[in-house]
A and B are shown apart, each in its own frame.
Chain A
Amino acid sequence: AQSVTQPDIHITVSEGASLELRCNYSYGATPYLFWYVQSPGQGLQLLLKYFSGDTLVQGIKGFEAEFKRSQSSFNLRKPSVHWSDAAEYFCAVVPLNSNSGYALNFGKGTSLLVTP
C-alpha cells in the first residue's frame, strides 16, 4: 500500500545541536516530496520540496533535505537548531499518478522539542 512513514513521533534536541527527521515513502514511482512545518496554533508552511535534480535540497529557515532513491527516504536536516524550531514537522507526498487532484498524503508527523 502507498504510504508515508515518519518513524519518530517525538524528538528532543538541545538548542544548537544538529537535527535529522526521518521520512520514508512507499510508492511505485518516486512521488513529489515535501516537508511542511506546523507551529502551535498555525497552519502548515512549506519548508522545501523535491522532484528531480540535485538530491540535496535547500529550504527556508536553514533546513535541507536529502533524497535517497535506494532507501525511499527524504530526511530533513538542520545543522544547528534554534528554540523557535520547536514545532510539528510533516513529510508529505503527491503521487505521480495522482487522480489530477494533487492531494498531499501526509505522514503522521514528528513533534520537535528544543531544550535550552
Chain B
Amino acid sequence: EPEVTQTPSHQVTQMGQEVILRCVPISNHLYFYWYRQILGQKVEFLVSFYNNEISEKSEIFDDQFSVERPDGSNFTLKIRSTKLEDSAMYFCASSISGGFYEQYFGPGTRLTVT
C-alpha cells in the first residue's frame, strides 16, 4: 500500500540553525500538508500546498517557515532560524483531493532544538 515517507526520523539542531524536513507524498496525490505536534499537545495545522503554491497557512506558519516541492516527488518544510519552541513532531500528509478526502500521514520527524 502506498505510504507517505518522511526523513529524517529525528533531527537535532541548535537554536538559530536552518533545518529542512523532507517528505515524499503518495505519488498520485495533489494536496500536501504539514502539521506539527508539540509534546503533550494537539496536532496543529501549519500549511497546505496545491498546484505548486500555498493554499492555506496557519498563524504558526510565519516568515521563518517555507515549503517547496522541488521536484515531482519531494515536499519540504524549511525552518530558517530555529527556536527552542520549534521542538515538536512534524507530520507531512497528502491527499488525492481536498475536503472530504482522506489525508494520509507520514510517521513524522521529531525535531529537537537545543
Query: Which chain A positions have C-beta within 8 A of B103?
Result: 46, 102, 104
B contact residues vs A (CB 8 Å cutoff) = 4, 31, 33, 35, 41-45, 47-48, 50, 54-58, 91, 93, 95, 98-100, 102-108
A side interface size, CB within 8 A: 25
Q: Would you call the interface of chain A mostly helix, strand, loop, or mixed? A: loop
Q: Does A94 contact B (CB under 8 A)?
A: yes
Alpha-carbon separation in the docked complex, A92 to B42 (Å): 11
Within 8 A of B (CB), among A72-111: 90, 92, 94, 98-109
By beta carbon, the residue of chain B nearest A109 is: B42
Query: Which chain A positions have C-beta within 8 A of B107?
Result: 41-43
CB of A60, distance to nearest CB on chain B (Å): 11
